[in-house]
């Protein structure tokens, strides 16, 4: 995975996902938005008889309308900046949290970028979310679930928007999407196909568990010449620590990074 493809994929996925959210928010009715005395704009519901090309463009057009309206006010510009900063920070934190789980024993300087790239690629989950948002109202109707009440006019900060109100049916669907995203991300991270370079592939010298004396060339049933500890117990303890788990691989890489 190269950085260019990972970043482009993340940007496109975010644009499509955010566009789908904006389009779903705007499609049902004409709404007025704003903060009293600061910002106010009206968006008319788009026609739903789309050609294929119009259907592809509609999420981007809806996103542009919403962003343009919000960016017209300095306060909203601050909110947009904070939201984008939080998104970047969330990707960085998720990558760091995944390091012990995805570690294969490579160097930390390789492990963290790999986790970041996997997190960026996992944003493709926004594409099925966009499809879900498009067909969710029809699916609710087919399953006999009533639609949430719409508010034709809404001023930000004066009421709770209906699109933020979920019932149990919505929560189950969102939970399934979240679980699927986590499953795909974890499965991708556990399949390591990189170069065998790092602490996990370096030769390990047998050492005494008490004093650290190198036991290479000594009898297994003998004792350490420095502290008289059992060689066999030292080797068993060392092998137990070298048994592959993602936590042990991360610990080896972290210990090597601290030493060097």
Query: HSE on the CB side for 15, CA within 13 Å?
Result: 12
pTM of the model as a whole: 0.66
Across-strand partners of 153? 32
Q: What is the pLDDT of residue 159?
A: 43
Predicted confidence (pLDDT) at residue 70 exceeds the cutoff of 80: no
DSSP single-letter state for residue 103: -
Which residue, 27, 15, 31, 129, is CA-closest to 63?
15
Winning range, highest mean pLDDT, from 19-23, 136-140, 254-258: 254-258
What average pLDDT does range 76-83 have in this prediction?
A: 83
DSSP-H helix ranges across the chain:
3-26, 52-71, 74-102, 108-121, 126-142, 168-190, 231-242, 246-259
What average pLDDT does range 60-89 have in this prediction?
A: 81
DSSP single-letter state for residue 156: T
Tell me the pLDDT band of 1, cut-offs 50, 70 and 90.
low
| Rounded CA separation 230/213 (Å) | 12
Q: What is the mean pLDDT of the chain?
A: 76
Tell me the pLDDT band of 77, cut-offs 50, 70 and 90.
confident
What average pLDDT does range 120-136 have in this prediction?
A: 78
> How many C-beta atoms lie closer than 10 Å to residue 22's C-beta?
22
Q: In the chain, where are the structural domains located? A: 3-175, 199-259
Q: What is the pLDDT of residue 51?
A: 64
Question: Cα–Cα distances in Å, from 32 out to 36, 78, 159, 174?
Answer: 11, 21, 13, 27
What average pLDDT does range 99-124 have in this prediction?
A: 90
pLDDT digits (tens, 9 = 90+) for 167-188: 666 677 778 888 888 888 888 8
Cβ(200)–Cβ(253) below 8 Å: yes
C-alpha 219: how far from its chain's center?
50
Instruction: Answer with the residue of higher pLDDT: 42 or 180.
Output: 180
Locate tokens 């981007």: which residue? Answer: 60
| Rounded CA separation 76/57 (Å) | 25
């Amino acid at each position: 995975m190269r950085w260019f493809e990972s970043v482009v994929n993340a940007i496109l996925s975010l644009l499509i996902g955010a566009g789908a959210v904006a389009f779903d928010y705007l499609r049902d009715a004409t709404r007025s938005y704003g903060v009293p005395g600061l910002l106010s704009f009206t968006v008319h519901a788009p026609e739903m008889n789309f050609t294929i090309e119009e259907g592809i463009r509609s999420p981007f057009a809806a996103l542009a309308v919403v962003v343009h309206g919000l960016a017209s006010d300095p306060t909203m510009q601050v909110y947009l900046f904070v939201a984008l900063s939080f998104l970047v920070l969330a990707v960085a934190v998720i990558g760091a949290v995944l390091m012990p789980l995805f570690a294969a024993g490579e160097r930390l300087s390789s492990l963290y970028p790999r986790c970041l790239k996997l997190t960026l690629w996992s944003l493709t989950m926004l594409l099925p979310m966009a499809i879900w948002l498009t067909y969710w109202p029809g699916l609710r109707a087919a399953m006999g679930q009533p639609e949430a009440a719409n508010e034709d006019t809404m001023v930000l900060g004066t009421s709770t928007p209906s699109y933020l109100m979920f019932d149990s049916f919505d929560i189950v669907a969102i939970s399934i999407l979240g679980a699927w995203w986590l499953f795909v991300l974890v499965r991708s991270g556990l399949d390591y196909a990189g170069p065998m370079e790092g602490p996990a592939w370096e030769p390990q010298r047998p050492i005494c568990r008490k004093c650290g004396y190198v036991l290479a060339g000594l009898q297994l049933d003998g004792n350490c010449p420095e502290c008289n500890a059992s060689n066999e117990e030292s080797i068993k303890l060392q092998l137990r620590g070298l048994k592959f788990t993602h936590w042990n691989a991360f610990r080896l890489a972290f210990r090597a990074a601290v030493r060097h």
